[in-house]
Amino acid sequence: MDAFVWTERFETGIEFVDRQHRQLVDTTNQLGELLLVGEGISDEELQALFHKLADYGRRHFSEEEALSAKVGLDPRHREQHAAHHRHFFEQLLGMWQARASMAHPAEVIQGFLAAWLTVHILGEDQAMARQIVRIQNGESAAAAYDAEQRTLDPAMAVLLDALERLYFLLAEQNKNLAQTNLGLEERVATRTRELADANARLESEQDELTALLGKIESAQQQLLQSEKMAAIGQLAAGVAHEINNPIGFVNSNLGTLKTYLAQILKLLDTYEKLGINGDQSAIDAARAEADIDFLREDLPALLAESQEGLSRVTKIVQDLKDFSHVDQTGHQLSDLNAAMESTLNVVWSELKYKAEVVRELGDIPEVDCVPAQINQVFMNLLVNAAQAIETTGRITVRSGFENQHVWFEVLDTGMGMPEAVRKRIFEPFYTTKPVGKGTGLGLSISYDIIVKKHGGRIDVTSEPGLGTCFRLWLPLNQANLTA
């Protein structure tokens, strides 16, 4: 629906004037159609519209005023008409300056154009056309102007007066808005200068803060390294203890085997020296000393025990390699049940004196992850679970698959945590351990690995005296994340 409906009432009979009026009417209606369908107008489109209106005004007004001068219209009409043209440009400039303060600048422009067209055409332009006809019919310019004032239809005069009042009211509002916007710009400029001064004063402080942040980051990196070294030291001590046990009895068995071998060789030497028909008593004495019957019974047991010990060492070393994944630093598909098993074996020395470990590992798919980082989280949770148990207890390890996520639980029967502590456990450097017993970075690092680097989450439930449960959630696909 058109905002401005063109009818014969608006025609002046002057071809170029009516054609140019229709162009402005079309612009007004096109703007109305945009508003009607709810399409906004961008800053670039708004700027183009103002340029278009300014170009229209310069062309249309100069041609109208040239026609008035050529025909010789009364100066009173020409001055009034020119003033109306100047007012158009004043309003256009005011709206341009105030556009940033307008909630809907396109609506304001459309309303202004519709009002201006109505007043301008039905007022000055129609009066101009009638006076031109009178002059062409032989009347003087002054007589044509005076006759126009006398013969104006009273009803039309009232309507034009009302429209002109409304138009000028709108114009005044636009003017006030432009002045307000100008004042706002001045206040913004003043405030900008004040902020620039404040920024200048803060520049030296910023340098100091930058230096301080650098020191803090350096200290944080040192603390993170200390946490890793502490974990490695703890891990190394446990692994050394686990390896020392089988190595100890293998070494003892080798000493016993050495003695047995010496006895067997001595018996063989006796056989060789005495021969098959030699001194049987000497041979019997050598057999008795060697205790051949016992050796036959004990030798297989020693060898089997030694083999079992060496297998244990091999398994520990393999689990340690699987745990560290020194040759696997990027994302890859991993069996996290196997990763949990290798971690349990590596930290077994921390667990076996404190807790019975119950495995309830479910059937889960492989997960796209950085295995060494996940193993570090498993180790942190298992060691924390053991340390939360004061004397002896139970640690339950579970896994499962749900909603395209693999989950792991580490549940202990330890001391548990109050709500105030639970809310802070992932804060860097927060710890409830005595001074020197922990950095407070283990769970913070775990949170960073699971949540930030793998896009998962960690749920924690705990109750004082009833233990704690950590549940890790890891999405299957980590292709778009970085380690």
In a domain, 186, yes or no: no
Q: Are 4 and 29 in contact (CB under 8 A)?
A: yes
- 75-98 vs 126-136: helix crossing angle, rounded to 10: 160
Chain mean pLDDT for the chain: 78
Segment 378-389, tens digit of pLDDT: 988 998 899 889
Instruction: Give CA–CA dist 338/323, Å, rounded.
Output: 10
Segment 391-414, tens digit of pLDDT: 899 999 999 999 899 999 999 999
- At which of 101, 123, 152 does a domain end? 152
Instruction: Tell me: do 335 and 424 sit in the same domain.
Output: yes
Instruction: Give CA–CA dist 425/413, Å, rounded.
Output: 18
- Mind spelling out the 3-state secondary structure of the chain? CCCCCCCHHHCCCCHHHHHHHHHHHHHHHHHHHHHHCCCCCCHHHHHHHHHHHHHHHHHHHHHHHHHHHHHCCCHHHHHHHHHHHHHHHHHHHHHHHHHHHCCCHHHHHHHHHHHHHHHHHHHHHHHHHHHHHHHHCCCCHHHHHHHHHHHCCHHHHHHHHHHHHHHHHHHHHHHHHHHHHHHHHHHHHHHHHHHHHHHHHHHHHHHHHHHHHHHHHHHHHHHHHHHHHHHHHHHHHHHHHHHHHHHHHHHHHHHHHHHHHHHHHHHHHHHHHHCCCCCHHHHHHHHHHHCHHHHHHHHHHHHHHHHHHHHHHHHHHHHHHHHHCCCCCCCEEECHHHHHHHHHHHCHHHHCCCEEEEEECCCCCCEEECHHHHHHHHHHHHHHHHHHCCCCEEEEEEEEEECCEEEEEEEECCCCCCHHHHCCCCCCCCCCCCCCCCCCCHHHHHHHHHHHHCCCEEEEEEECCCEEEEEEEEECCCCCCCC
Segment 145-185, tens digit of pLDDT: 988 887 755 545 545 555 555 555 555 555 565 556 556 66
In a domain, 263, yes or no: yes
Question: 11 φ, ψ to 5°?
Answer: -80, 135
Q: Which of the two residues, 92 and 466, has the higher pLDDT score? A: 466
Residue with tokens 């101009």: 128
Residue 365, domain CATH: 3.30.565.10
**Which range has the worst mean pLDDT, 55-59, 112-116, 270-274, 322-326?**
322-326
Instruction: Give CA–CA dist 10/13, Å, rounded.
Output: 9
Segment 194-252, tens digit of pLDDT: 787 777 777 877 777 777 777 766 665 565 555 555 555 556 556 656 666 677 767 67
In a domain, 187, yes or no: no
Instruction: Tell me: do 257 and 342 sit in the same domain.
Output: no
Q: Average pLDDT in the 45-67 region?
A: 88
Residue 417 has pLDDT above 80, yes or no: yes
Instruction: Tell me: do 261 and 362 sit in the same domain.
Output: no
- At which of 321, 349, 368 does a domain end? 321
Instruction: Tell me: do 333 and 307 sit in the same domain.
Output: no
In a domain, 194, yes or no: no
Instruction: Tell me: do 74 and 109 sit in the same domain.
Output: yes
In a domain, 167, yes or no: no
Instruction: Tell me: do 332 and 243 sit in the same domain.
Output: no
Instruction: Tell me: do 343 and 459 sit in the same domain.
Output: yes
Nearest to 114 by CA among 175, 38, 27: 27
Instruction: Tell me: do 368 and 253 sit in the same domain.
Output: no
The proportion of the chain whose per-residue pLDDT surpasses 70, expressed as a percent, equals: 72
Instruction: Tell me: do 380 and 300 sit in the same domain.
Output: no
Segment 127-149, tens digit of pLDDT: 899 899 999 999 999 999 988 88
Instruction: Give CA–CA dist 49/99, Å, rounded.
Output: 12
In a domain, 176, yes or no: no
Q: What amino acid is encoded at 385 in this protein?
A: A
Instruction: State the pLDDT at residue 38.
Output: 63
Instruction: Tell me: do 253 and 128 sit in the same domain.
Output: no
Instruction: Tell me: do 274 and 392 sit in the same domain.
Output: no
Instruction: State the pLDDT at residue 108.
Output: 78
In a domain, 38, yes or no: yes
- At which of 321, 345, 374 does a domain end? 321
Instruction: Tell me: do 274 and 372 sit in the same domain.
Output: no
Upper half-sphere CA count for residue 480 (Cβ side, 13 Å): 2
Residue 74 has pLDDT above 80, yes or no: yes
In a domain, 363, yes or no: yes
Instruction: Give CA–CA dist 45/125, Å, rounded.
Output: 30
Domain span at 112: 8-152
Segment 292-322, tens digit of pLDDT: 777 777 777 777 777 777 776 776 666 666 5
Q: Average pLDDT in the 461-480 region?
A: 86
* Number of compact structural domains in the chain: 3
Residue 69, domain CATH: 1.20.120.50
| pLDDT-derived band at 42, boundaries 50, 70, 90 | confident
| Dihedral over Cα of 79, 81, 84, 85: its sign | negative
Upper half-sphere CA count for residue 335 (Cβ side, 13 Å): 8
Residue 348 has pLDDT above 80, yes or no: yes
